Amino acid sequence: MRQPNARNVKIQDLSYLVRMFHVLLTLLFLLTSVRSSLAGTTCDAVDGFDYRGAMIKKIPVSQAYFYTITRMAIDADGAPNSYHPLDKGIDALANAGFPEGNWKAILVENPTKSDEPFVQTGGEFAGFFVSRTTLQDRSLALTDVRRYVDSTRVP
């Protein structure tokens, strides 16, 4: 096994930054596209009713209802670099409920130590935890990061 040196670490850090920059550019593009496509549209919807603080709107002459929100949540679960024991993943360990919360719902348990999350032992993100997604390839082992949807590749 090749020992990491300063150059390898810098290359990995640069690779990580390039991937994060790509994700941010993609999100910016999507947000800009949605905003510009909505700017020229009109909506004939009328206020329907308030449901737990959200104004439910109704489209006239139909049974369709909808609501809008002003905030968005981004979830990194499933990405091979989402969570790290030293909290240097692309998502905070607290968002996985680790160490005090219900982390077993997000992070894969270590098969030999069920009180600890499983740490990837090989590959580009060795040392990172494996996190679950609802959509899975059940033909792969629970500890195989490829079993879960990589949220850096599939939004």
Residues 96 and 58 both lie in one domain: no
Residues 62 and 105 both lie in one domain: no
Q: Is 26 helix (H, G, I), strand (E, B) or coil?
A: helix
Residues 99 and 143 both lie in one domain: yes
pLDDT digits (tens, 9 = 90+) for 107-131: 999 999 999 999 999 999 999 999 9
Residues 101 and 120 both lie in one domain: yes
- For residue 136, pLDDT over 60 is answered with yes
Return the structure tokens found at 24.
């941010």
- For residue 2, pLDDT over 80 is answered with no
pLDDT at 38: 55
| Beta strands per DSSP E along the chain | 46-51, 54-58, 65-66, 109-110, 113-117
Residues 145 and 69 both lie in one domain: no
Domain that holds residue 66: 44-73
Residues 59 and 81 both lie in one domain: no
pTM for the predicted model, two decimal places: 0.56
- Better-predicted residue by pLDDT, 2 or 92: 92
Tokens 């059940």 sit on residue: 138
Residues 152 and 95 both lie in one domain: yes
